[in-house]
Amino acid sequence: MQELDLHCQVDEDVFSWTVFLTRALVGLTLLYVAVGGLLYYREFFFNTSVLGWPMPVATGVALLVTQIMLALLLLLGWFTRLVSAISVLCMGAVGIIFFAGEINRIYVALILLLITALLPSVLLGPGKISLDYKHAVRRIKKTFRG
Nearest-angstrom CA–CA distance, 109 and 129: 28
**92 pLDDT tier (thresholds 50, 70, 90):** confident
Q: What is the mean pLDDT of the chain?
A: 87
Residue 107 maps to a domain: yes
Taking a C-beta distance cutoff of 8 angstroms, is the pair 44, 135 a contact? no
Within 8 A by CB and 6+ apart from 125, the residues are 19, 80, 81, 132
Averaged pLDDT, 81-90: 91
Q: How many domains does the chain have?
A: 1
Q: Is the pLDDT of residue 105 over 90?
A: no
Instruction: Give per-residue pLDDT as tens, 13-71.
Output: 888 998 899 999 999 999 998 998 899 989 989 989 998 888 989 999 999 999 999 99
**Is the separation of the CB atoms in 116 and 29 below 8 Å?**
no
**Domain span including residue 35:** 12-143
What is the pLDDT at residue 146?
56
Any domain includes 6: no
Q: pLDDT band for position 145 (50/70/90)?
A: low
More confident residue, 1 or 27: 27
Q: Note the pLDDT of residue 125.
A: 84
DSSP state, 22? Answer: H
Q: Worst-scoring range by mean pLDDT, 82-91, 98-107, 127-136?
A: 98-107
Query: Is 124 a domain residue?
Result: yes
Lowest mean pLDDT among 25-39, 68-82, 113-127: 113-127
8 pLDDT above the threshold of 90: no
Mean pLDDT of 106-110: 83
CA distances from residue 55 to 42, 60, 110 in whole angstroms, order as listed? 14, 8, 27
Would the pLDDT of 4 be above 80? no
Question: 107 CB contacts (<8 Å, ≥6 apart)?
Answer: 95, 99
